[in-house]
Structure 1
Amino acid sequence: MEIKAGLSTTPQKANKTLKRLSQLMDLAVKLEMRGDNPLKGVDRYKTGSGGFHAWTEAEIARFLEVYLPGTPAFLSMTLMLYSGASRCDAVKLGWGNIRGGRLEYRRQKTRKNPEGILVSIPVHPFLAEALQAVPNGAFTFLQTEQGKSRTATGLGTAMRKWCDKAGLPLCSSHGLRKAICRRIAEAGGEAHEIMSVSGHITLAEAQRYCEDFGRKGLADSAIARLPHGAKGEQKLANHPPRFARKMDKPLKENGK
């Protein structure tokens, strides 16, 4: 299928596009505009259970090489990376959300949380510096040049273009939200710390980041606990008496 092949470098986007097109075709069949849904049976790309790609440090650095401070791309990326806000929340953030050096907002309402989860985090110095380019009278941080608020869809579309121009086909706006969770996990942060920043509803969602990205740090600390140098090895060799029996006779070879 040409549409699927054209999006092969962005499997998540390809699967989402196929899903939406299939829904549209189902509607066309229901309205008797078509006799069948041509997308039925079209296999989706295997993407694993990780969902959207979390930006790596190299990808973040690449984006910052292409887009300098003061540009909409730089501000959008920085705001989402250092707040963990999703697109629908990021486009609503403004100076009214800064209180006492903290960024405070309620995540988009869901059926599980009709009031929305309250997120209150310190403003990171890098984000504070980026926000200096935003006029004090701006209604939202990411408003357009015409002073109008961006839509979540518009921000997603813009981020897609910015990432493609920077040669980052796997990166997306949602991947920035995952990137801050990755950073916290790699720094040894616990699931509850991730939840306090991301506003995740369940512990299992945040725990997944610890399992996926915290293993390297845990392995480092685990190996660091082992004894170092010859003295440490000698201590390990000092077995309890029952294992340190002196052998008076040499070992016999098998069959002799």
Structure 2
Amino acid sequence: MTAGTLMTWLADTVHGYRFDLGGVFRRVSEASAWPVVANSPEELEQHLALGGHLLPLPKEPAALANVLEVSIVDFLVAQVERTPGGVVARGTERSYPDLEISGPPFGGGFHAVDVKCARRAANGRSTQSRITLYTGNTYFRHPDLHWPGVPRPFNEYASHLDIIAVYTLNDRLPHRVDNLELIVQEPWRIASRSRSSMTREYIGAVTDLDALRHGRGEFDTPEAFYRYWRAFHFKISEQVQRQYQKALQEAHTELARYRRGPADSSDVPGVG
């Protein structure tokens, strides 16, 4: 499956997603009256809110993004698992990617799918801040190394795709999220020439919503994108340098083992 074909599958699939988290459930409330009888989800939500059992979701961007991302990832995992032959692996909160999709229905190989969230700006035409596409000084900069927190080297993925969840914050209601829009794009198509943070080594996306929807970033080709950002002067901390040295040593060890071949006596316990 090409990136374009997988993009089409994802775009069609996310159309069926509905953000249905109404708030945070609190078990004990002095205002509650039991039993609660409800004939619809909406009526149950109203009873819970009036009884003091429904607290609002967080409105802080990073916290709300975590809630959104988990909900979207759960939905996509279920959709891939319903696809005969589809295989999906879920990442952790601090790993890349959020989902690794593979299997015959997706053309073989491994595909990295990451979920990003962004709040609409007050003008309704852009995101409030830049979406982060990649961490620029680790796995992205060294695409052939097996970096900690990434299941496989960057270049071993047949495609990299982002699902961007753009929402309007509603701070008057517990669910917080209004007008949710899900956009599927290849990261290079929506990349800017600016970092998404002045204090972290992150590659930023463009902020214009139409540019995000139509893949009109600041690079004309993937080659131009990779050339620019892999040559960018990111800071390298001591921790990142240690991770790089470890990944490099593991790559050298694996290469040496491959060159010796499986019949080499040094690979047989008790021989050599």
- Structure showing greater relative contact order (alpha-carbon pairs closer than 8 Å, 6 or more residues apart): 1
The structure where helix makes up a greater share of residues is 1
The structure where strand makes up a greater share of residues is 2
Query: Which of 1 and 2 has greater Rg?
Result: 1
TM-score by length of 2: 0.21
TM-score by length of 1: 0.21
